Structure 1
């Protein structure tokens, strides 16, 4: 695991989303939830672009190229344009992904064979589950190329973090700045949580004076 992924894995999507907001960057997406095992996943993206069937589309099964290209710890991200009427990922692909050591799969749309992916222990994040096959309805337009997920641009090799709150993407060239900002936010919230558990009134902990005090402490490090 590279150092940036190791640091990202210690955070949560809420802290990273707040950091993206602070830096004026896009990256948090809506509507994607864990459908199988619930665990935090961080990794680098391998992308898949799906769309309507077209002449000259690759003959391989959709997603297979990304599975073959993936390295252990990677996260496969599928542009499925939010479609929930047809699957953009299935059980055999999940089986192949597990064999390659893929950490998770994220589908901007529906997937199927959720029970199989659950039994395999593969984390799958998607908009919905549906039994309808992609065969004859969807084609792969490419893999390991720039895609869009819920309006957010994602490139191969970008960073992604997914947990029970959702999914956030971090552009590779912005990763150091975003992670550093998220670490500061996360540390501040841990201090606040500790004070709440010690019995400090939540209204006081959430107040502006407390926030200013924490900022002063951070500035004096």
Structure 2
């Protein structure tokens, strides 16, 4: 259990801000490598994926340890992780950035969805990707992969620190995924990040409305002219932001 559990109000705020905005918030904290690289959503879901990280680590497979009969073992780390990932969490897999063989398929993802898991992420690939894309659970991967994970990867560790798409992920970190990408927020920064990103999003929406109406970005983005800040204040009052 994380020392900084995700608050419902923080989850609600994080569901409405972009990964790009959160990346800027993390940059202000000196954290520049929190976006998971080369991983994308299988389909749009209408709101962000948000949840604490529950991790699974793969290592290179050794042939004598990775025959199909391994899946008969009820303690096989991949199968076991699917059955113990807590509801509301995001299952995150370090698949060595390899989509040569699949990290999971639609049966396991259906099981995670039935158990109330908030999402699933791998820096490898999924088999049955088109089926997974149609599920309600947010899912992110590099690209489709048909070979079983046993071909090149062995599931070896559950809920340990991992790297996923070059981003460090610690159990309990907060993952936020939108229609573009995913960011990893250290749990102790989640409340602040949600509030700051919400404020930034309000100003960005104001800026977008101004730019679409023909305004120059100079003095507007970033706000270096007081007149724009004054107008933003009026805009917020009008739009309840």
Larger strand share, 1 or 2? 1
**Which residue matches 1:13?**
19
Q: Would you say 1:161 and 2:176 are equivalent positions?
A: yes
1:32 aligns with 2:47: no
Q: Deviation of residue 145 (structure 1)?
A: 1.1
TM-superposition CA deviations, 1:60-105 (whole Å, max 9, x none):
3443222222233221110011102111121221121011011211
Unaligned runs of 5+ in 1: none
Greater displacement, 47-56 / 12-21: 47-56
Which of 142, 153, 158 is residue 138 of structure 1 equivalent to? 153
What corresponds to 2:56 in structure 1? 48
Q: Which residue of 2 aligns with 1:106?
A: 121
The offset of 1:146, in angstroms, is 0.9
The separation in 1 between residues aligned to 2:111 and 2:15, in whole angstroms, is 24
User: How large is the Cα RMSD of the aligned pairs?
Assistant: 2.7
Q: Give, in whole Å, the separation in 2 of the partners of 1:8 and 1:162.
A: 9
Partner of 2:105: 90
Q: How many residue pairs are counted as aligned between the two chains?
A: 216
Q: After TM superposition, what 4+ stretches of structure 1 lie above 6 angstroms from structure 2?
A: 55-58
Mapped contact 2:37–2:167 kept (Cα < 8 A)? no
Q: Tell me the distance in 1 between the aligned counterparts of 2:164 and 2:207.
A: 33
Contact 1:36–1:115 under 8 Å retained in 2: no
Give me the whole-angstrom Cα distance separating, in 1, the residues matched to 2:87 and 2:145. 28
Aligned-pair distance for 1:56?
Answer: 7.9
C-alpha separation in 1, matches of 2:44 and 2:129: 10
> Cα gap change, 1:103/1:19 in structure 2, threshold over 3 Å: closer, same or farther?
same
TM-score normalised by the chain length of structure 1: 0.86
Moved more, 48-57 or 24-33: 48-57
Separation in structure 2 between the aligned mates of residue 149 and residue 119 of structure 1, nearest angstrom: 24
| Cα distance in 2 for residues equivalent to 1:151 and 1:157 | 18
Over 3 Å counting, the alpha-carbon distance change for 1:97 and 1:37 in structure 2 is farther
Which residue among 190, 193, 199 is the counterpart of 1:184?
199
Shift in Å at residue 121 of structure 1?
2.5
Partner residue in 1 for 2:224: 212
Runs of 5+ unmatched residues, structure 2: 1-6, 234-241
- Aligned mates of 1:105, 1:30 — CA distance in 2: 15
